[in-house]
Chain A
């Protein structure tokens, strides 16, 4: 597809389980971002990838959160031992890197509910 693709679109998991969220960025986009959006909150930055490396992980809220990117394309965000406060929409975005002010395109998000 032409846009940023995320899966699953919806996920309900039990507290304490691990979850993996997948992002397939726009072809050719070397920059990839993960954001979290909780009810009534703005977008909270989690992590930024340039290629396969993550020069900015400053937004990851705890060591239960990790992310990787392979082949400069698909990224996986993993949340271990999920807690109820992890319930949110996890948004992935991508952009062309190296161009100041380039447009960041978002996917439709993975809606995570921890019960």
Chain B
């Protein structure tokens, strides 16, 4: 079992839809959870960062972490065509030196 599992999709939604992206993980030591967005032929850019459990909201984006279930989510409200990208979850432990990434979910929002 990989440390971080993420459904690669692709996920296609109409403009204005609510999008839910998810990752599961196996390492209970993970404490720092991130979502990166990657456009085609570009490097990943940090979208959301959450420490430990709980929710964090930033505009149309909400990140949730449920450590008891080892499950993290990213919700996108009122999705836009400009949200079309690959979304990568990433996490690390307190002692870890590197982020461990999921494979990424490709999202397409049609107008």
Contacts and interface: CB of A to CB of B under 8 A. Distances in A.
Interface of A: 4, 33, 35, 40-45, 48, 55-56, 59, 91, 93, 100-101, 103-109, 111
A42 B98 contact: no
Interface string B26-45: 00000010001000011111
A43 B36 CA distance: 11
11 contacts: A33-B98, A41-B103, A42-B4, A42-B102, A44-B101, A45-B99, A103-B46, A104-B46, A104-B99, A106-B43, A109-B43
A106 B45 contact: yes
Contacts of A91: 43-44
Contacts of B46: 103-105
Contacts of A40: 8, 103
B88 A43 contact: yes
Contacts of B103: 40-42
Nearest to B43: A106
A106 B88 CA distance: 13
A100 B32 contact: yes
Contacts, number: 53
Contacts of A45: 98-100
A42 B104 contact: yes
Contacts of A42: 4, 6, 88, 101-104
B49 interface: yes
A101 B4 CA distance: 18
Contacts of A105: 46
Given A43-B44, A43-B88, A101 B51 contact: yes
A59 B98 contact: yes
B49 A55 contact: no
A108 B42 contact: yes
A1 B103 CA distance: 29
